[in-house]
Amino acid sequence: MENFTALFGAQADPPPPPTALGFGPGKPPPPPPPPAGGGPGTAPPPTAATAPPGADKSGAGCGPFYLMRELPELTGSTNLITHYNLEQAYNKFCGKKVKEKLSNFLPDLPGMIDLPGSHDNSSLRSLIEKPPILSSSFNPITGTMLAGFRLHTGPLPEQCRLMHIQPPKKKNKHKHKQSRTQDPVPPETPSDSDHKKKKKKKEEDPERKRKKKEKKKKKNRHSPDHPGMGSSQASSSSSLR
Amino acid sequence: MAEKFDHLEEHLEKFVENIRQLGIIVSDFQPSSQAGLNQKLCLCVCLSPRNFIVTGLQDIDKCRQQLHDITVPLEVFEYIDQGRNPQLYTKECLERALAKNEQVKGKIDTMKKFKSLLIQELSKVFPEDMAKYRSIRGEDHPPS
């Protein structure tokens, strides 16, 4: 008991009687005399009837247990994802593999969007940190302003040729990307270029595609499910007999 | 709520398409392309409004009023600036939330075990006070 009181009553003031700590008969303790030097415990100790400042209001009716508070209903012991009905979202994003590139999220957006924004100074971060100075409204361009948009004829330099890239319309099942006629080819190492060229040639060769189609047709002709083969098979089987 | 996003998405897609067509015109400019370029840029009686760049920007600006309460975390912009899928941010948020949930649940379970042991031992030393505590706690919450 003395050790317990020493833990909670170790102050410059004279130790209050044990009843003040709530571990005795239910008698309100008398207020101690104020110390001459103005120690840390200048305020009278809180009684059981009055709640100490800063304590929860629910603690006022909790008897001698001043620091007792109501436990919150929602704690970390509950599954918060099910509590906030995020199971579908969790299964959608964490159950399946989410593709890494931005072009998978925005497939119809033209241009090379998978490149970092810092390369061509098109980052959203720079737009937030240094917003461009604009007027309050968008005014239509008048005839005299159009004089500034008179362009010279001829093609653009290769550095600026990015916006006319067509967005990919077909979903490629092949792992290797099919080269587009208008895409700028990124620089490749000499060791990989031959291998990739061979693979690209294999995939893009129209003659190879025709051969594949012909093979498929031949397979279908010789399959038992093919309607044309039923009569021929019957004739062949009858001839064997 | 999805409607206002659909409107904005529609206007953005039209605007991006107009810009793309402008880019095609400009990439290999010919003298006959000047008229088409002017039509894309400015107001014209014969063409439909969807080809106008300025009206496209005005339409997008009008959508802003409907979306003033939408907040986007800045961390998503970092993903987009790196050319990564922003859905990865949602995925990582959910995974971090679940991991933190599990971590806190472990702490709570450990503290509950400590609480039961502490009540058990305190009841041996302070039976009356612990009886009061249990009666108070029993009113508010069931004993754990």
Q: What pLDDT, on a 0 to 100 scale, did the predictor assign at position A142?
A: 78
Dihedral angle, C-alpha B124, B125, B128, B132, nearest 10 °: -80
- Collapsing DSSP to helix, strand or coil, B106 comes out as helix
Which are the contacts of B67, defined by CB distance < 8 A and separation ≥ 6? Answer: B4, B5, B8
Say how many CB pairs under 8 Å bridge A and B.
147
Instruction: Copy the structure tokens of residue B65.
Output: 């009023």
* CA-based nearest residue to B36, from B27, B45, B25: B25
| CA A64, A65, A66, A71 torsion-angle sign | negative
The residue whose two tokens read 């806190």 is B104
Find tokens 């709520």 and name the residue.
B1
Cβ atoms of B22 and B36 within 8 Å: the answer is no
Between A20 and A132, whose confidence is greater? A132
Q: How far is A180 from chain B (nearest CA, A)?
A: 16
CA distance A75 to A58: 19
The pLDDT of residue B115: 93
Rounded-to-integer distance, Cα B84 and Cα A114, Å: 7
Q: Are A117 and B81 in contact (CB under 8 A)?
A: yes
Closest A-chain CA to B129: A23
The first and second tokens of residue B84, run together, are 């990564």
Q: Kindly give the interhelix angle for B53-66 and B33-41, rounded to the nearest 10 degrees.
A: 20
Across chain A, mean pLDDT equals 65
Residues 105-124 (B) with a CB less than 8 A from some CB of A: 105, 107-109
Contact A109 B41 (CB under 8 A): no
Reduced to 3 states (helix: H, G, I; strand: E, B; else coil), residue A98 is: coil
Could you give the 3-state DSSP secondary structure of residue A109? Answer: coil
Q: Distance between CA A70 and CA B11 in Å, rounded?
A: 51
Q: Which of A79, A101, A156 sits opposite B83 (nearest CB)?
A: A101
pLDDT digits (tens, 9 = 90+) for A94-119: 998 999 999 999 888 888 888 888 87
Q: How far is A170 from chain B (nearest CA, A)?
A: 18
Inter-chain residue contact A105 with B108, CB threshold 8 Å: no
What is the predicted ipTM? Answer: 0.74
Whether the pLDDT of residue A15 is over 70: the answer is no
- Flag if A64 and B26 touch (Cβ within 8 Å): no
CB contact under 8 A, A156 and B90: no
Structure-model confidence comparison of residues A220 and B28, the more confident one:
B28
Q: What pLDDT digit, counting tens, does each position of A120-130 carry? A: 788 898 888 88
Percent of chain A with pLDDT over 90: 10
Q: Is the pLDDT of residue A131 over 80?
A: yes
Cβ(B84)–Cβ(A114) under 8 Å? no
Determine the residue among A4, A23, A105, A113 to mutate to test chain B binding: the one whose Cβ has the most chain B Cβ atoms within 10 Å.
Answer: A105
